[in-house]
Amino acid sequence: MNKKKTSLMVAAMLAVSAITFSGCSAGTAADNSASVSESAQGSQKANADVKLSDARNTPAVRAAKMVGPAVVGITNKAVVRDWFNNPVETQGVGSGVIFREDGYIVTNNHVVSGAKEIIVSLSDGRSLKGKLIGADELTDLAVVKVDGKDLPTAKFGDSDQIVVGEPAIAIGNPMGLEFRGSVTSGVVSAVNRTLDISDKLVKLIQTDAAINPGNSGGALVNADGEVIGINSAKLAASGVEGMGFAIPTNTVQNIIDEIMNKGYVARPYLGVSVFDPQTAGRYGYQLNIDKGVYIFQLTLNGPCGKAGLQRGDIILKVNDEEVNSVSDLRAKVAAHKVGDTVKVTFDRNGASRNVDVVLEEMPQDNH
């Protein structure tokens, strides 16, 4: 892929040259919310009462009826600085999915990041103030709460059971609230698709259902009307069409549980910052190693520091599995839990050594 031809559709915290998060649709979203007229809402209600033949009652129709009411619009009002350092209010719109009838909503982290104020637009036309419960930058997920009861909710399916080729329906608010509740359909193009985003390996569902700016945080639904993913990103490059990505619901539910319990996601860490030749080159360094990752910074009272590792050591293996890149090391550590003990094989001055390291919880300012 020619990265020079890659066009970012919308700014996002974790965007890379070939990947754009479907993001917030910027502009006058709050003003445009008024353009969703009462007649449009009445039309939606009328459509719900239409008698359909079996041929017309497609998976997309059923998914829209079952999940559509639980998909909301999220307006993020933030303050940025202009060229003269004056505060300027900006806003963008994304999507979210109600998963508890008392007002808990899952969305993308980049939809609510930096928000001064969050406004949630329900499918029945109401707008409620939202409160950020917690967010996780690594998985790009966040939980927002509104004051409400008996709200429509979506049912989460088992994303481990989805198969390539089955129907996939995306529901969200592409380009802003004036297009709220838009439904697009396609198929599951791939499962467990691994993308390397800022040296962080993220496993996603790939779909050709259209995902556009504003769809972020919306639902990817199967033919049974179950949410199987939270829409998050798409490839936006010249000549590339129909490559969208969603966070699997099994991952979503685990992250939701941690955010609801702690307000954040607890992750294990080694307490080291490492380079491989590629990442070193990005910072203008030349790293001449054939294998492993080089420790260029170490927290003395962190897990590796306590186990005796030093700056300049080269980590070769974790639990006897080779580690040759930053993303390799992160993936190996992420596969464990806080408190687990891992065997780290490292090179110091040409001699290979082994040491047991007890993984600790990553400090929040390191996320």
pLDDT, tens only, 153-207: 999 999 999 999 999 999 998 766 777 888 999 999 999 887 765 545 678 999 9
Tokens 């709200």 sit on residue: 151
87-100 and 25-26: which strand pairing? antiparallel
Q: Which residues are catalytic?
A: 110, 140, 216
Confidence at residue 366, expressed as pLDDT on a 0 to 100 scale: 55
Contacts of 82-89 with CB under 8 Å at 24 or more apart are 89/116
Q: Is the pLDDT of residue 35 over 50?
A: no
d(CA 303, CA 204) in angstroms, rounded, equals 30
**Higher per-residue confidence, 92 vs 149:** 149
Report whether 366 contacts 274 (CB < 8 A): no
Confidence at residue 310, expressed as pLDDT on a 0 to 100 scale: 95
Helix/strand/coil for 133: strand
Residue 277 sits at φ, ψ, to 5 deg, of: -55, -35
Q: pTM of the full predicted structure?
A: 0.75
Confidence at 221, pLDDT banded by 50, 70, 90:
very high
Q: Is the pLDDT of residue 91 over 50?
A: yes
Confidence at residue 101, expressed as pLDDT on a 0 to 100 scale: 96
From 108-122, 197-211, 302-316, the region with the lowest mean pLDDT: 197-211
- Paired residues of 26 in beta bridges: 92
Residue 240 sits at φ, ψ, to 5 deg, of: -110, 125
CA-CA distances (angstroms) from residue 154 to 131, 140, 171? 20, 20, 12
Helix/strand/coil for 277: helix
Q: Where are the alpha helices (DSSP H) in 84-240?
A: 109-112
